Amino acid sequence: MKDKKTVIFIHVPKTAGTTLTNIILKQYEETETWQMYKSLSAIGMQWVKFPLPEPEKIARNQFRQIPPIKAIIGHINYGYHEYLEQPFTYISMLRNLKSRIISSYYFSKFSKTKNNYYRDLINNNKLTCKDWATSNLIPDNPVTRQISGIGDNIDYGLLKRQHLEIAKKNIEQHFSVVGLTEKFDDSLMLFKQHLGWKIPFYQSTNVNKKRPREENPKDVIKAIERTHELDLELYEYVKKRFEQQIEEGNIREEAARLKKLNYLYNTRPVSFLRRGLKKGTSLISKIQKGGR
């Protein structure tokens, strides 16, 4: 049974959040969801989104509609529950710190978006991945900033351990699940279990195929760890919590089944259909319909 709480998805960039967003949108009617993102233009970050340009205005006037909004999605900070009158829960996805920062660099560097601010900044100034990771072009410890709710209200380099502790407390008190990009199918099974979702087969989106696959220099890795120390600790904390939820939920077998079937769905659709028909579609429908 689907959870009746409004789901607030804090989308941390480059964590498979776009793929998860597409899955979330399949759970609800179009009128039951709000998406809020910042747009990269030639002059930097601007709020653009659906359907009004000011997120606070959306929150004041629209989050209390009847019937109530069932999902709020975006690159937002913790705190949007304050605009709601109905029960709520947060969710998010995190990714290995080094992989996420490096991925964000190459995603921006090779972006095809017209008038992309970060792409032009990187290429015009010949910025390396190390430059990107250690400069104030991107926030230090951005995940801690999002989940603590502090956002950009504290300047670069001034985030303290107390903000990390606030982020941890918020997760314990108000997050049903914080999934891991590296364990995406396991994460989906947790979302299904905690929120009553039906899990569709999916295709990964926003994957940067131009990112070099070679190992990154040690100085880049050390620079990332030094600049984003709080995020590194927050990831380890979330990873431990995630593994505990996986064990308690006893879902590894089901997650492995989803991963295998989704691979067939994307790479060998004929084999996928034959397998489903051969088994009376029970294997497929069990996952999609949320049954155990």
Nearest to 198 by CA among 288, 281, 284: 288
Q: What number of residues does the chain have?
A: 292
Q: Which residues fall within 8 angstroms of residue 57, CB to CB, at 6 or more apart?
A: none
Q: What is the pTM of this model?
A: 0.83
The span from the CA of 149 to the CA of 24, in Å, is 22
**Where are any strands of DSSP class E within the chain?**
6-10, 33-36, 38-41, 44-47, 71-74, 88-94, 175-180
Nearest to 261 by CA among 191, 207, 189: 189
Amino acid at 126: K
Contact between 106 and 208 under an 8 Å Cβ cutoff? The reply is yes
6-96+142-207+218-250 has which fold?
Rossmann fold (3.40.50)
pLDDT for residue 71 is more than 50: yes
Q: Which residue has the higher pLDDT, 189 or 53?
A: 189
pLDDT digits (tens, 9 = 90+) for 227-260: 999 999 999 999 999 999 999 988 888 888 888 8
pLDDT at 142: 93
pLDDT for residue 151 is more than 70: yes
Q: Which residue has the higher pLDDT, 104 or 93?
A: 93
* φ and ψ of 3, to 5 deg: -60, 135
Sketch the domain layout of the chain as residue ranges: 6-96+142-207+218-250
The span from the CA of 241 to the CA of 244, in Å, is 5
191 to 74, 118, 207, 245: CA distances (angstroms) = 17, 33, 22, 11
Q: Which residue has the higher pLDDT, 37 or 220?
A: 220
pLDDT band at 2 (very low <50, low <70, confident <90, very high): low
pLDDT for residue 43 is more than 50: no
Q: Is the dihedral of CA 39, 181, 59, 136 positive or negative?
A: negative
> Other C-beta atoms within 10 Å of 196: how many?
13
DSSP annotation string for 82-142:
GG-SS-EEEEEEE--HHHHHHHHHHHHHT--STT-HHHHHHHHTT--HHHHHHSTTS-SSH
pLDDT for residue 31 is more than 90: no
DSSP-derived pairing of the beta strands 38-41 and 44-47 = antiparallel
12 to 20, 47, 165: CA distances (angstroms) = 11, 16, 18
196 to 54, 138, 251, 252, 292: CA distances (angstroms) = 31, 36, 14, 17, 11
